[in-house]
């Protein structure tokens, strides 16, 4: 099939003007290769979390618009599935270059809508870009298997085939990386894709869609709808959708897993976390404290792989005052301000929830060693800021330990032995990521073998796998059979 290719190395983003907001912009739907204004009468405001000013609005797509998006995915599927794997690979090869060329603009949108620092936002794009680069190795990933002479005069072949129309539902905390976990892998395998970004941070996904179109993806291979529950239910129920990728909270993920599975879909759901950093007294103190501070408070703790819980083993508990001193030095500011180490939380409700969980620590007998609840950021007095907070003397039965806080809050427990620490980690329902800090090889091996957690770092605080390996997660952090990216190529 012939197609005229327009490759722009720089895209002038029309969703948000570069500097001032004279009027509120409406985020478009992306249907059948066109960015279209929704006819919906239900819209959601998008806020800058550093100021709480309204910067845009996103539609809750109408039923007719969602139907049109699915019809477009369905129409595009047969030709896209038959497009040679080399041609699909070429689209992805061009795409990775366009993402690189536009990385700073995507990051700017992320900081504007999500609040994280520009450096973190660039990291967000970069980690997604790595998945796109990995998708370019589709020619190896989609190889099947053969066995000659399986019986007399008979050979056996297995093929990896696209499923059809797939869908993605994304969270707010990684506006570029997580959508890029979803549609590039599915599409390079020959599937078409319906994406529903987080209604709080749609801008990066819209720009990524434009870049994909400019890379040569045919009309209809990617469609984007916006909305909340209605859009999610539509995806779970629609008979033409064969598989769903979800990343977000347990509340939404368990619901989507159950409802989508009930309709016969393949569902992968990456959900909440409570990641523990176990600090052994033989660890390199300097590195460990720096890494703990970065992993607990970076991105305001709004990372599913944040190290939100420290277990100090034996003499390591003496390092607590120094940990507090380091956390105090972090600069809290709007994400686009020079020198900011962490930005605001996503909404005033998120701030209130985090503050309530800190309160619960005090009420249940823990000690607040560093309290970020009353922080004021000059020039951004209306922002959703919480400063780094450290809660010590925490016990596993306390609310601040049991719940995912998703803010710049480190809860600290103490044990005498590594065995006790392992028992605590395995007793927690979540199993997304964890790290041990030690110079003892035997302790590192024991820990990495005995913890029931998907991703384990040894002196690596945030062990997110590179895309040639899958992002895993175990127990309450994951539902489904195939993980995101890696050799599992989820949707073929």
Between 470 and 477, name the residue whose CB sits nearer to ligand NAD: 477
Nearest distance in Å: CB 367, ligand NAD = 26
Residues in the interface with ligand NAD (CB under 6 A) total 29
Binding flags for ligand NAD, 235-264, as an x/- string (CB under 6 A): ------------xxx-xx--x---------
Q: Which residue, 401 or 471, is less far from ligand NAD as judged by CB?
A: 471
304 is known as an active-site residue: yes
Q: Determine, following the binding rule CB under 6 A, whether residue 485 of this chain makes contact with ligand NAD.
A: no
For residue 222, what is the enclosing H or E element?
Answer: strand 222-224
Positions in 404-443 near ligand NAD (CB under 6 A): 404, 406, 432
Q: Pick from 429, 459, 416: which is nearest to 441 by CA?
A: 459
Q: Which of 56, 272, 301, 372 binds ligand NAD (CB under 6 A)?
A: 272
Give one word for 248, left, alpha or beta, with left for phi > 0 and alpha for psi -120 to 50: left
**DSSP for 118-186, written as a single string:** HHHHHHHHHHHHHHHHHHTTHHHHT--EEEEEEETTEEEEE-----SEEEEE--SS-TTHHHHHHHHHH
Segment 149-208, which members bind ligand NAD (CB under 6 A)?
Answer: 169-174, 196, 198-199
Q: Which of 73, 166, 189, 304 is catalytic?
A: 304
Please, are residues 483 and 179 in contact by the beta-carbon 8 Å criterion?
no
Q: Where are the beta strands (DSSP E) in 428-483?
A: 430-431, 433-437, 455-458, 474-475, 478-479
And the tokens for 381?
A: 């007095």
Eight-class DSSP state of 436: E
Cβ proximity to ligand NAD: between 132 and 256 the closer is 256
Rg (CA), the chain: 23
Task: Please work out, in degrees rounded to the nearest 5, the angle formed at the alpha carbon of residue 344 by the alpha carbons of 339 and 348.
Answer: 165
Minimum distance, C-beta of residue 264 to ligand NAD, in the bound complex (Å): 19
Instruction: Please give the Cα distance from 368 to 418 (Å, whole number).
Output: 25
Q: For the CB of residue 490, give the shortest distance to ligand NAD in the complex, in Å.
A: 13
Which residue lies nearer to ligand NAD by CB, 371 or 403? 403
220 vs 480, beta carbon nearer ligand NAD:
480
State which residue has the least CB distance to ligand NAD. 248
Q: Cα(455)–Cα(457) distance, rounded to whole angstroms?
A: 7
CA distances from residue 489 to 147, 169, 321, 477 in whole angstroms, order as listed: 22, 18, 46, 20
Verify binding: residue 232, ligand NAD, rule CB under 6 A.
yes
The answer to whether 486 contacts ligand NAD (rule: CB under 6 A) is no
Q: Which is nearer to ligand NAD, 134 or 196 (CB)?
A: 196
Region near ligand NAD per CB under 6 A, out of 70-78, 107-115, 183-191, 270-278: 270-278
Q: Shortest distance, CB of residue 372 to ligand NAD, whole angstroms?
A: 20
Cβ 346 to ligand NAD shortest distance, Å: 7
Tokens of 171: 């969270």
Active site residues: 304
Contact set with ligand NAD (CB under 6 A): 169-174, 196, 198-199, 228-229, 232, 247-249, 251-252, 255, 270-273, 304, 404, 406, 432, 471, 473, 477
């Amino acid at each position: 099939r012939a197609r005229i290719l327009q490759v722009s190395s720089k895209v002038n983003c029309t969703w948000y003007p570069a500097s001032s907001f004279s009027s509120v912009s409406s985020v478009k739907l992306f249907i059948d290769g066109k960015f279209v204004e929704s006819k919906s009468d239900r819209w959601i405001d998008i806020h800058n979390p550093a100021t709480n000013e309204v910067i845009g609005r996103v539609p809750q797509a109408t039923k007719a618009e969602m139907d049109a998006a699915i019809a477009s995915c369905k129409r595009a599927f047969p030709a896209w599935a038959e497009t040679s794997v080399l041609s699909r690979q070429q689209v992805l090869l061009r795409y990775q270059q366009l993402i690189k060329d536009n990385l700073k603009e995507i990051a700017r949108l992320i900081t504007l809508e999500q609040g994280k620092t520009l450096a973190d936002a660039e990291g967000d794009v970069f980690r997604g870009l790595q998945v796109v680069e990995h998708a370019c190795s589709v020619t190896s990933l989609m190889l099947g298997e053969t066995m000659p002479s399986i019986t007399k005069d008979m050979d056996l072949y297995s093929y990896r085939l696209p499923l059809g129309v797939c869908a993605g539902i994304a969270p707010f905390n990684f506006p570029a990386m997580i959508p890029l976990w979803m549609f590039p892998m599915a599409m390079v395998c020959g599937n078409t894709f319906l994406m529903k970004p987080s209604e709080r941070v749609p801008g990066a996904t819209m720009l990524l869609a434009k870049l994909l179109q400019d890379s040569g993806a045919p009309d209809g291979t990617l469609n984007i709808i916006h909305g909340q529950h209605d859009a999610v239910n539509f995806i779970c129920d629609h008979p033409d959708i064969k598989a769903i990728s979800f990343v977000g909270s347990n509340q939404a993920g368990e619901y989507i897993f159950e409802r989508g599975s009930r309709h016969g879909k393949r569902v992968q759901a990456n959900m909440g976390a409570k990641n523990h950093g176990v600090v052994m007294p033989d660890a390199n103190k300097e590195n460990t404290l720096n890494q703990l501070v970065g992993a607990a408070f970076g991105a305001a703790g709004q990372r599913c792989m944040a190290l939100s819980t420290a277990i100090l083993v034996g003499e390591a508990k003496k390092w607590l005052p120094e940990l507090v001193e380091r956390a105090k030095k972090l600069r809290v500011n709007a994400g686009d301000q020079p020198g900011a180490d962490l930005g605001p939380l996503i909404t005033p409700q998120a701030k209130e929830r985090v503050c309530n969980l800190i309160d619960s620590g005090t009420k249940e007998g823990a000690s607040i060693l560093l309290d970020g609840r009353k922080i004021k950021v000059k020039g951004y007095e209306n922002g959703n800021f919480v400063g780094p907070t450290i809660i010590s003397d925490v016990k596993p039965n306390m609310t601040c330990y049991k719940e995912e806080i998703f803010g710049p809050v480190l809860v600290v427990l103490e044990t005498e032995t590594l065995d006790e620490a392992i028992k605590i980690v395995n007793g927690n329902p979540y199993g997304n990521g964890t790290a041990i800090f030690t110079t003892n090889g035997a302790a590192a091996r024991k820990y990495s073998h005995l913890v029931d957690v998907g991703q384990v770092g040894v002196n690596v605080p945030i062990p997110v796998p590179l895309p040639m390996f899958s992002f895993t997660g175990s127990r309450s952090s994951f539902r489904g059979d195939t993980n995101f990216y890696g050799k599992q190529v989820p949707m073929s």
